[in-house]
Amino acid sequence: MKEYQFKEGFLWGGACSAVQCEGRSPEDGKQDNIWDQWYREDPGAFYQGVGPEVTSDFYHNYERLIKMMRECGITSFRTSLQWARIISDRDGTVNRKGIAFYHRVIDALLDNGIEPILCLNHFDMPMYWMEKGGFECRETVDAFVSFARVCFKEFSGKVRRWVTFNEPVITPEQGYLYLHHYPLVQDGRRAVQVAYYIQLASSMVVEAYRQMGCSGRIGIVLNLTPTYCRDPGDERDRQAAYAADLFFNRSFLDPSVKGEYPADLVRILEENQAVPVHTEQELETIRRNTVDYLGVNYYHPRRVVHRSRPLESDTFMPDRYFEYYTPENCRMNKSRGWEIYEKGLYDIGINIRDHYGNIPWMVTENGMGVQDEEQFLNGEGMVEDGYRVEFIKDHLRWLHKAIEEGCNCFGYHMWCPFDSWSWSNAYKNRYGFIRIDVNDHARPSFKRSASWFRQVSDGNKFTD
3-class SS letters over the chain: CCEEECCCCCEEEEECCHHHHHCCCHHHCCCCEHHHHHHHHCHHHCHHHCCCCCCCCHHHHHHHHHHHHHHCCCCEEEEECCHHHHECCCCCCECHHHHHHHHHHHHHHHHCCCEEEEECCCCCCEHHHHCCCHHHCHHHHHHHHHHHHHHHHHHCCCCCEEEEEECCCHHHHHHHCCCCCCCCCCCHHHHHHHHHHHHHHHHHHHHHHHHCCCCCEEEEEECCCCEEECCCCCHHHHHHHHHHHHHHHHHHHHHHHCCCCCHHHHHHHHHCCCCCCCCHHHHHHHHHCCCCEEEEECCCCEEEECCCCCCCCCCCCHHHHCEECCCCCCCEECCCCEECCCHHHHHHHHHHHHHCCCCCEEEEECCCCEECHHHHECCCCCECCHHHHHHHHHHHHHHHHHHHCCCCEEEEEEECCECCCEHHHECCEECCCEECCCCCCCCCEECHHHHHHHHHHHHCEEEC
Measure CA of the first residue to CA of the last residue in the chain; give whole Å.
6
Question: How far is 295 from 403, CA to CA, in rounded Å?
Answer: 15
Question: How far is 174 from 179, CA to CA, in rounded Å?
Answer: 6
Active-site residue set? 167, 365
